[in-house]
A = this chain, B = another copy of it.
Amino acid sequence: MRDVAAEAGVSFKTVSRVVNREGGVSPDLVERVEKAVAALGYRPDHRARLLRRSSTAPATIGFVWIDIANAFFSSVLRGIEEVADTRDCLVLAGSTEWSPERERRLVDALVERRVGGLIVVSSGAAAETLQSEMQRGTPLVFLDLEPGFDVVDLVRTDHRAGAVKATEHLVGGGHTDIAYFGDNLDIFSASERLIGFQTAMGAAGLQVDDKQVITGSHSGDEWREIIRSFFESSEHHPTAIFTTQNFVTLGAVQALHDLDLRSTIAHVGFDDIDLSEAVTPGVSVIPQFPRQLGRRAAEMLFNRVETDNAEPVRVVVEPPLIERGSGEIRPSR
């Protein structure tokens, strides 16, 4: 900026005025400054600007998510960006890949960059930083997971109700012997879904066999192997399965296809997947609406910027069930 001022033969305050279109600068000076700006390729330094300015509207918001490979969160991010874009706001996104350590570091890094707000898919690892940041007045919205401490704003799917719905659907189709494949139970959404499964099974008077509850954190290909060997090895086959995450569902579809069991074993998944209609039979699912969750969370965030003392908002969306064939297979025995 100093260089631009020298080039144009004015003080740097005048440059500042021109760059920010404050007005009150004579036309020829404006022109001289603009020429100098163009000649030197000058860009204002956003950080210094924010440092000085008693800015109100956030120019950057942060998004901390858990798994970059999962299309669910990509769609969430898309929803967030759509809303942020209308406010000329950038999204600083970082994924933790399930590591509490990384969650702490990421949240710290974002807080240190003084983002105007934060949307977090939090395991609760960064609770301390998040809470002190909340006290500083930074808007904070939690998404998908309950972080395990008192939370102001939160948006998520009703994981438990969705799992109940899926299980009831299978039970209603005549299945009494249902296997469960899902994410690690230290993840809030995963444990909620298992609780939903157990609740619905219990309500139907059915027993849950521990050997038929398989949990863990794996890629789609790993799940494919796990589910294939589950069906290959166990003498006792369930007549239906409930897969409670999109990778698990993808793996299960592949595995059942490999074993030519897709028309025999009933299957409902949590989260929608691509090509769910192109396989035979189609994959029945409890879909989530990640893009809308993202939009909703971002709107809540900006809302909190504007109205400081608003009541806490908790949005918990009950998901529907989409029948496509795989969930409607009757038990063969």
Contacts and interface: CB of A to CB of B under 8 A. Distances in A.
A316 interface: no
Interface size class of A (residues with CB under 8 A): 35 or more
B43 A108 contact: yes
A78 B77 CA distance: 14
Q: Tell me the interface secondary structure of chain A in the complex.
A: helix
A273 interface: yes
Contacts of A257: 277-278, 280
Interface string A88-110: 10111111000000100110111
Given A91-B93, A277-B257, A78 B68 contact: yes
A45 B45 CA distance: 15
B92 A46 contact: no
Output the residue of A47, A114, A133, A254 with the most chain B CB within 10 A: A47
A111 interface: yes
A234 B118 CA distance: 52
Nearest to A73: B74
A235 interface: no
A280 B275 CA distance: 12
A112 interface: yes
Interface of A: 41, 43-48, 50-51, 60, 68-69, 71, 74-75, 77-78, 81, 85, 88, 90-95, 102, 105-106, 108-114, 129, 132-133, 135-136, 220, 250, 253-254, 257, 273-275, 277-280
